[in-house]
Homo-oligomer: A and B are copies of this chain.
């Protein structure tokens, strides 16, 4: 079941050259004469020669591929980030390898190690909801393996980071609800320790205060897996139904749709009584019922920026010492 492909040796033999000359010609080295180059290139073209990237990787310790680690591709936000990453990567001749953690820190570690040992040249990642220990990432980074984080970033690690302005997003969402006259605004959010959870909660609190509303811990519900399991949302909704709230700010893509679903399934609550604002990058918010106000993250751009930073770091001659944190604004979209 072997499929014979042409190698540099084959070309060398056919053209009565040495493999090294062919290699150099193919890479357009200055040492090789124009005629030889043309001859080699023409022949390579003719036989449809494809260099073996595996061999090249082994030799060069570089693969021109970058890894992506996200929790779920079935998440509007992440799939849009990936599109942004791809657009930059392809333009710079890097391949992209995508992997999912499904919010499991074990799976995350396996994926990272695999991508690392497969000689991806660097990683773009958003931490899983479960992840607390990031020392293995730190170890890799110390070895010189470039990792750029986006969305869910580790506070304790020094690296490039690209995030949305989550405080602003949270603030604007809650501000919006408050201006509509809502007095008891609940908050449904993800894993407690994630950066995005913390920042959005801050925005929520600031907006409450700015509008003279009290903060009530019982109105804040956490979902450890960020809504990956519908059951955790239902639980939160059940708990919230004990409270007399008139609006809610939801802090994530899956949580937002999951909340709508959970509400629809409950007979005891009036779905349209609660005003909803939530983080979501769904492209079909307009067909959701009940109507919601969406906080949208610049996902595509986030992917682009993160990929640019990563490739820059990969290609830099010296170890990068100055790390950037790029913060992108969120957008609030009201439904008619």
Residues of A within 8 A of B (CB): 1-4, 50-55, 57-58, 61, 63, 65, 72-74, 76, 79-80, 82-83, 86, 95-100, 113-114, 117-119, 140, 143-145, 257, 260-261, 264-265, 283-284, 286-289, 317, 319
Chain B residues closer than 8 Å to A61, beta-carbon distance: 2
Chain B residues closer than 8 Å to A288, beta-carbon distance: 287-289
Chain B residues closer than 8 Å to A264, beta-carbon distance: 286-287
Number of chain copies forming the complex: 2
CB distance from A26 to the nearest CB of B (A): 14
Expressed in whole angstroms, the Cα–Cα distance for A72 and B288 within the complex equals: 22
CB distance from A73 to the nearest CB of B (A): 5
Which of B1, B51, B95, B114 is A144 in contact with, Cβ under 8 Å? B1
Which of B2, B76, B96, B289 is A289 in contact with, Cβ under 8 Å? B289
Chain B residues closer than 8 Å to A98, beta-carbon distance: 73, 97-99
Minimum CB distance partner of A79 in chain B: B74
CB distance from A298 to the nearest CB of B (A): 16
CB distance from A214 to the nearest CB of B (A): 31
Expressed in whole angstroms, the Cα–Cα distance for A65 and B99 within the complex equals: 12
CB distance from A107 to the nearest CB of B (A): 9
Q: A264-B287, A287-B257 are in contact. Are A117 and B53 (CB under 8 A)?
A: yes
Q: A2-B144, A53-B118, A118-B54 are in contact. Are A287 and B289 (CB under 8 A)?
A: yes
Chain B residues closer than 8 Å to A58, beta-carbon distance: 52, 54-55, 58
Chain B residues closer than 8 Å to A145, beta-carbon distance: 3
Q: Can you offer 14 A-B residue contacts whose CB atoms are under 8 A?
A: A2-B144, A3-B144, A4-B143, A54-B119, A55-B58, A74-B79, A95-B114, A95-B118, A96-B99, A97-B97, A260-B287, A261-B286, A265-B286, A287-B289
Chain B residues closer than 8 Å to A79, beta-carbon distance: 72-74, 79
Chain B residues closer than 8 Å to A96, beta-carbon distance: 99
Chain B residues closer than 8 Å to A114, beta-carbon distance: 95
Chain B residues closer than 8 Å to A86, beta-carbon distance: 100
Chain B residues closer than 8 Å to A99, beta-carbon distance: 96, 98
Most chain B CB neighbours (cut-off 10 Å) among A61, A97, A119, A284: A284
The reply to whether A113 and B50 contact each other, CB–CB distance below 8 Å, is: yes
Minimum CB distance partner of A1 in chain B: B144
Which of B63, B65, B73, B144 is A73 in contact with, Cβ under 8 Å? B73
Chain B residues closer than 8 Å to A74, beta-carbon distance: 73, 76, 79-80, 83
Chain B residues closer than 8 Å to A113, beta-carbon distance: 50
The reply to whether B50 and A117 contact each other, CB–CB distance below 8 Å, is: yes
